[in-house]
Amino acid sequence: MTNSLSSVRLHRVLRAPTERVYRAFLDPDALCRWLPPYGFLGKVDRIDPQVGGSYHMTFINFSTGHSHSFESTFLELVPGERIRSAGKFDESGLDGGMNRTITLRKVSCGTEIEIEQEFPAAIPAEMCYLGWQESLAQLAQLVEPEIPGQP
């Protein structure tokens, strides 16, 4: 078993309130909508959004049907500010864990988001980075629209 980890850092500003962005990280339907990278479907098998709680999610490659699953435990939840989690993949060969810190900060035009993620070195860092870029684009499409006539 290898404990070698790689990491990526991402930064983005979204035109949405921090509360909405924060909620998108904890709502199972929202996670399925935006977190899987392009070409993947997502399924949340279970979620318990509290410190010490966890969620189990599967990404399914729509073209091939191949899937990979992971479990993430919430280490810290500060509404509208920070989410820290530690996770692991279900598959062997992806040892080493997956640690993530999401930091949100209210800014004049919405929310600044910073993501730091550690993941097994067997995953190429550029693929993780690319996947996060795609996920964040989908997150923006979910949280940025202001829909008239809706509370």
Predicted local distance difference test score (pLDDT) of residue 91? 79
* Alpha carbon distance 3, 1 (integer Å): 7
**Pair of tokens at residue 74:** 């919430």
Domains of the chain, each with CATH number or no CATH: 5-143 (3.30.530.20)
Summarize the confidence of residues 100-127 as an average pLDDT.
94
User: What pTM value is reported for the model?
Assistant: 0.90
Q: What is the tens place of the pLDDT at every residue in 54-90?
A: 999 999 999 999 999 999 999 999 999 999 999 998 8
**Pair of tokens at residue 35:** 């977190």
2: confidence class by pLDDT, cuts 50, 70, 90:
very low
Q: What does the DSSP 8-state code read for residue 108?
A: T
Q: What is the tens place of the pLDDT at every residue in 15-68?
A: 999 999 999 999 999 999 999 999 999 999 999 999 999 999 999 999 999 999
Q: How far is CA 7 from CA 30, 56, 126, in A?
A: 25, 21, 10
